[in-house]
Structure 1
Amino acid sequence: MRLSLRQLQIFLAIAESGSTTAAADLIALSQSATSSALIELESMLDARLFDRLGKRLKINDNGRLLLPQARQMLDAASTIEKQFAPGGLESGAGLHIGASTTIGIYLLPKMLSAFGLKQAGAAPSVTIANTSEIATAVINFELDIGLIEGPWHDPDLHVEPWIVDDLIVVAAPSHPLVCDNSQHPISIKALREALWLLREPGSGTREAVEHALVPYLHSINAGGQFSNSEAIKHAAAEGLGLACLSRLVVADFISAGRLVELTTPLPILKRNLFLIHQRHKVLSARLQTFLRFCRERSNQK
């Protein structure tokens, strides 16, 4: 058998696009050459990889079995090319880093600045999205490493605890609970009845907040759902509800008097941030250096 990386590249392009015509545009081949390569690959493997639905190709169970292996092989080939390209590790091709929203906005820029002092010329490509999207991209070899706000359970992921982050409950100075708190302690009943501003499902912050609050409040009375923590911070400052957010996110608004940290009967709320990479990924020297750098900063914020 003479399986080629080009055949696997074509297979992945078809899997992503759903047709040989669309795949041909992605990889700069003719449609006939793309179709011929797929037929040859299926013949070599003695298995159909797609179900034919008119002009559409839908990946089947054989294709799904091949998909992660094909991604792994192409990722390993790409790593080899970068390592042995002119200039080696100091060539222009940098890391593909994914970060969930809070990390991407409040931690990663400072980290990259410090890391860049040691890695001149290694400009990174950064993707910021919620934890679910980052984890999926890492699993699919689309990102070299992910920095996420919640644990993610998948057999293809290596997940390690990284930084311990403080979560605090905040509200606008005009919020009724802030006013009452000056006279009486806030009760669990009052917290249970209050409106809470939340992240969207799939967010690491949303998962951490639910994990921290639900055991004590039993349920969370949602007053709004937002796609990033910055929006929640501003909404809370306008008096729309309570928010449970990373101290990193709200420190500036607390200092400016736009938000107040509430003293509640809840225990100290903390969560782990995590480093993830594909378990089967070939770790380049640069990626290993960045991983060590992240671990060294595990006690810094």
Structure 2
Amino acid sequence: MVDLVPPSLDHLRVFLCVVEEGSFNAAARKLGRAISVVSYAIAQLEAQLDVRLFDREGSRRPHLTDAGIALVGEAHAISDTVDALLAKVRALRQGLEAELSLAVDVMMPGEALARLLREFQAMYPSVALRLHVEALGAVAALVLDGRADLAIGGPDILDLPEIERETVGAVELVPVAAPGHPLSTLERIPPGEARKHLQLVLTDRSPLTEGRDFSVFSPRTWRLADLGSKHMLLKEGIGWGSMPRHVVRHDLASGALVELTLPERPAMDYALVALWRKDTRPGPAGTWVLDKLPVLLAQCPR
């Protein structure tokens, strides 16, 4: 029986990169290495473990063998454990952050954010804060690029291997229109009627979710990168669209906007998810934000 040699962490991460990217070429591009280096790492890993991880015959794209499929989860666990260890060591060495860069989704309730920042200032007066407000994939992009230490994004971000996720709350989205809009004047909106009218849609400034549509029903759309502009146009009667209930609560109460009962799209929860890089665990101030925010969001009317 062949004596197994403990594999190197680098070889395991090359293996995971090939699995995630789907080919040796794509993995080499992502890692910034020559394809020969990637091939050598996989060959070394197979020799160390005495198993064949990829079936390379008859196809230009490598396919995982049964053994390779069985070992992907273990490789992820080892990589994540080492990332967590290094992140914790960095946090211990650095102590309290000098600055916290926080990115939040535009759907975040302003009341919860204001209370969070007020209490943060009292708790950590020496920590400078840098706040970014973005929509959709642009929130996660700031974390990936290292421009934000911590982010509160929406539910539509694809699972990214570099990022940890933790659900911290939710807001309710409701379809609305101005009282004079044709949809608002109908006693009952029939199926398909919303598709006949202009829909105002929040768009993304990030390639992470570029080309993806979120709750879009009408072929006629205006794409807006700013939630405030969308709110203003809705009140002007220019189209219909979904908005966070906390943003339009007073408009619904005053009659400036009308909640639409669409058969295709009832009111829905928009999850708020904390995001941070696996290799850079939040320090004491960031961890405080993670612990405090779910409490504040739970206290806010949705």
**TM-score bracket for the superposition, by shorter chain length:** 0.5 to 0.7
Deviations 1:188-234 (A, max 9, x none): 2211212110111468xx99x955x46xxxx4233311111111111
Instruction: Report the CA distance shift for 1:110/1:257 in structure 2 as closer, same or farther (over 3 A).
Output: farther
Partner SS for 1:160: strand
- 1:200 corresponds to 2:203: yes
Deviations 1:54-84 (A, max 9, x none): xxxx998239x9xxxxxx9x9999856752x
- 1:190 corresponds to 2:220: no
- 1:129 corresponds to 2:128: no
Letter in 2 for 1:62: R
Which residue is equivalent to 2:296? 297
Which residue is equivalent to 2:226? 228
- Could you tell me whether the CA contact under 8 Å between 1:75 and 1:141 is conserved in 2? no
Instruction: Report the CA distance shift for 1:260/1:228 in structure 2 as closer, same or farther (over 3 A).
Output: same
Letter in 2 for 1:133: A
Letter in 1 for 2:252: I
Which residue is equivalent to 1:247? 245
- 1:113 corresponds to 2:109: no
**By percentage of residues, which structure has more helix?**
1
Deviations 1:99-124 (A, max 9, x none): 12222856422321233333333331
| Distance of 1:230 and 1:237 partners within structure 2 | 11
| Distance of 2:281 and 2:232 partners within structure 1 | 42
| Distance of 1:236 and 1:228 partners within structure 2 | 13
Instruction: Report the CA distance shift for 1:255/1:95 in structure 2 as closer, same or farther (over 3 A).
Output: same
- 1:157 corresponds to 2:178: no
Letter in 2 for 1:196: Q
Higher relative contact order (CA 8 A, sep 6+): 2
| Distance of 2:247 and 2:220 partners within structure 1 | 20
Give % identity.
21
Deviates more, 1:101-110 or 1:163-172: 101-110
| Distance of 1:202 and 1:95 partners within structure 2 | 23
- Could you tell me whether the CA contact under 8 Å between 1:106 and 1:248 is conserved in 2? no
TM-score (ref. length: structure 2)? 0.62
- Could you tell me whether the CA contact under 8 Å between 1:138 and 1:146 is conserved in 2? yes
- Offset of 1:253 from its aligned partner? 2.4
Which residue is equivalent to 1:270? 269
| Distance of 1:241 and 1:248 partners within structure 2 | 20
Instruction: Report the CA distance shift for 1:144/1:288 in structure 2 as closer, same or farther (over 3 A).
Output: same
Which residue is equivalent to 1:260? 258
| Distance of 2:193 and 2:219 partners within structure 1 | 11
- Offset of 1:132 from its aligned partner? 1.6
Residues matched between the structures, number? 220
Partner SS for 2:99: coil
Gapped regions of structure 2 (runs ≥ 5): 1-28, 38-83
| Distance of 2:262 and 2:30 partners within structure 1 | 52
